[in-house]
Amino acid sequence: MKVAIFGLGYVGFTAMCCIAADGHSVVGFDVSEKKVLGIRAGHPPIIEAGLEEMLQSGLTKGLISAHTKIGNRLADVDLAIVCVGTPSAPDGSHNMTYIAEVSRQIASAVKSGHRSTPLVVAYRSTIRPGTIEGLIAPIFRAELGADFAASVEIVYHPEFLREGSAVKDYFDPPKIVVGTVDGQPNECLALLNRNIQAPTFVVNYGEAELTKFVDNTWHALKVAFANEVGRVCLQLGLSASKVSEIFLSDTKLNISSYYMRPGGAFGGSCLPKDVRAFQYIAADCGAHTHVVDSLLRSNEAHKYRLYQYAANGLKPGGRVLLVGLAFKANTDDLRESPNIDLARAFLRDGYDLHVFDPAIDATKLVGANLGYAYTQIPTLSKLLVDKATAETTAYDRIVVTNDTGKLLELADKANVVEIARLP
């Protein structure tokens, strides 16, 4: 097939490389000229294991191209995949501006072209139930009129990628979910996923649209629950690790061990915004989900308690090394990273802060990642230190937030505080 990708962020760029690696031709679109030019030159806009090699292979084989304008490039495309962002709006709902705009652009491009078969338009962005029927389809109908059914076929195909293992998760996902207007399979998506072995669910739009909210809200709930247990243990002087070990030994009743260890707060580009949106959905329909409503408050309380724990006993103005700033080790995604909040707290209270995170190059951050990083920590570039500096400088406290700590040989372990796992 020839596949178009709209939005070359984490989800879109990963999909571009993986789809090309599977033998399809992929044309990508993004509003960022810097990102597009970088991709054309073989430089990935994100840090993920395997993507740079896959990008360069796709470019060499002529299977990957990137552009800022659609033009007439959809004329021979079989499948268009939309991966643009759906950030949080002020009321907690998803901001659908990018979804609406890219839908209008695709509809306009289809209208001006000449197609013998409908273009399948698959949305991977997280959207609330009713979005395809209440927002997306009406945009296409308004643009295409009587030609709507013959010109496009709209499907919803949520992604289940984790930062740090995005390529593996693309080819080995926990499940495949496809939402269609009649709950019947789509030929293009069946071909796209032909080499992926996973439980497959073909459902109506609404069930598919809600899936990601249910998953991400459950993941957020597991993290917050474990951290509340860990916080109680810290307050009582008990071993959070031992309590957690006992709890997690019960895989029959306690469901799963994933996301259930007491440690860092949840964050990143998915959980916080999708919990906010799920709260909005529940309130909007009168479901009264009080446990869900408490998740973000609990997470903020945990961030503060972790800062207290990390800074306990530090002298005023002490020198601190924060190991791991990104949401996860070996990525450069800083959006809603709880480690950003930790860094801001140290700076606010006057500590001399250094940050070691080799995946982050302040000069290469782009898009929302760039904007978030510098609005939260304007002095980011001055805080980052290299491995040699981190290993040889005398610090009053070393705070390890994730597996980035495994990259350092630290002589003085007495001043190390690990918050990825509470003791």
In terms of Cβ atoms closer than 10 Å to its own Cβ (0-12, 13-18, 19+), residue 253 is exposed
Kindly list the distances between the CA atom of residue 207 and the CA atoms of 184, 202, 329, in Å, as whole numbers in the listed order. Answer: 13, 9, 33
Angle at 331 between CA 329 and CA 335, to 5 degrees: 105
Q: Is 83 a catalytic residue?
A: no
Distance in angstroms (rounded) separating the CA atoms of residues 119 and 80: 7
Distance in angstroms (rounded) separating the CA atoms of residues 15 and 330: 19
CA dihedral 59, 63, 66, 71 (to 10 degrees): 150
Selecting among 83, 188, 233, 270, the annotated active-site residue is: 270
Angle at 414 between CA 412 and CA 417, to 5 degrees: 105
Non-local (6+) Cβ contacts of 418 within 8 A are 400, 405
Helix, strand, coil content of the chain in percent (nearest 5): 45, 15, 40
Residue 422 backbone phi and psi in degrees, to 5? -80, 145
Distance in angstroms (rounded) separating the CA atoms of residues 299 and 241: 19
The residue type of 366 is: V
The three-state DSSP-derived secondary structure of 228-269 is HHHHHHHHHCCCHHHHHHHHHCCCCCCCCCCCCCCCCCCCCC
Angle between helices 290-311 and 338-348 (to 10 degrees): 50
Distance in angstroms (rounded) separating the CA atoms of residues 323 and 401: 6
Residue found by looking up tokens 């309590």 in the block: 243
Distance in angstroms (rounded) separating the CA atoms of residues 373 and 335: 7
Catalytic residue set: 270
